[in-house]
Amino acid sequence: MTDLSQAVLLVSCPDRSGIVARLASVVHQMGWNIVQVDQSVDAEHGDFRMRMVLERPDGNSKGSDFTERFETIAAEEKMTISLHPREERPRLAIFCSKEPHCLQDLLQRHASGELECEIPLIISNHEDLRSLSEFFEVPFVHVPNDANRRQHAEATLETLLEEHAIDLIVLARYMQILSPGFVSNWPERIINIHHSFLPAFAGASPYRQAHERGVKLIGATAHYVTAELDAGPIISQDVLECSHRDGVSDLARKGRDVERNTLSRAVRWSIERRLMVQGDRVVVFG
């Protein structure tokens, strides 16, 4: 394994005294420095969670040795621990349909270096966004998908994802429902953007639903995908004001900015290892 110079350590376990001291002692013994730490306790549920950024200036410590030490602690202390080299670049597949704004925003942020990941694949159930993918020089694959051919389509998707060694799927306004079987193969590895402030207006046509209810705020929600539609753990949300003067098309136009910003924020947090799922909630480390 390549020598590590920086790594992110994520820890969760039942809260008790001495956790931080034990971990800090191992970091010191291995010759690493703690350059950033974010920890908290959920007093209601008794859960401890922490994110550490670790650094070794000389880069002489082998990643495998470091990982083994923390795996030993995890077994002894009944912790859930994961260690991620900072130079590790997750590989993303972006799923889209016809709406370009979320896809374009992600590709632009990636091209500018804001999203430190690899995007080897864009998959769509329509051909509309092929030219956008080609502009950013990302391979585009058209996989027709609807209720009548979902099984065949998802088998094709799985093959493509395996061939490209994908770590995370991002649904950038992909207007198809994924089957429970497909979702179960990617637990906490599919991020969706829904164009409403969930749990309000789940399902289809949320802007029309919002208009009919005369809401004064519209929003967007990035969440992990589960078998239940639009009900997965929430990662990021945002809202903006609207009024009785806004029609459905106005709400959709205004909402596109909220959608793209909310999704890109969630994707960046995932890439930077700032997310931890605990039950039905997502902890976002600063």
**98 contacts 128 by C-beta, under 8 angstroms:** yes
**84 contacts 8 by C-beta, under 8 angstroms:** yes
Give the CATH class of 91-284. alpha beta
Rounded to the nearest 5°, which phi and psi values hold at 128? Answer: -55, -35
- How far CA 242 is from CA of 39, 220, 262, in Å, comes to 37, 14, 18
Cβ count within 10 A of residue 156 = 16
Rounded to the nearest 5°, which phi and psi values hold at 240? Answer: -145, 160
Catalytic positions, please? 230
Q: Which positions of the chain have pLDDT values less than 70?
A: 1-4, 58-64
Specify the pLDDT at position 81.
Answer: 93
Alpha-carbon span 190 to 180, nearest angstrom: 12
- 6-85: CATH number: 3.30.70.260
Specify the pLDDT at position 202.
Answer: 86
Specify the pLDDT at position 273.
Answer: 97
Alpha-carbon span 167 to 64, nearest angstrom: 21
The residues spanned by each domain of the chain are 6-85, 91-284
Specify the pLDDT at position 62.
Answer: 57
Specify the pLDDT at position 5.
Answer: 82
Q: Where are the alpha helices (DSSP H) in the chain?
A: 19-29, 63-77, 101-111, 130-135, 150-163, 180-184, 206-213, 248-271
Q: How long is the chain?
A: 286
Name the pairing type of β-strands 47-55 and 190-194.
unpaired
- Selection from 125, 88, 119, 89 nearest residue 104 by Cα: 119
Q: Which residues pair with 241 in a beta bridge?
A: 217
**97 contacts 161 by C-beta, under 8 angstroms:** no
Specify the pLDDT at position 1.
Answer: 39
- How far CA 107 is from CA of 79, 84, 137, 138, 257, in Å, comes to 37, 24, 10, 9, 15
**Radius of gyration (C-alpha) of the chain in whole angstroms:** 21
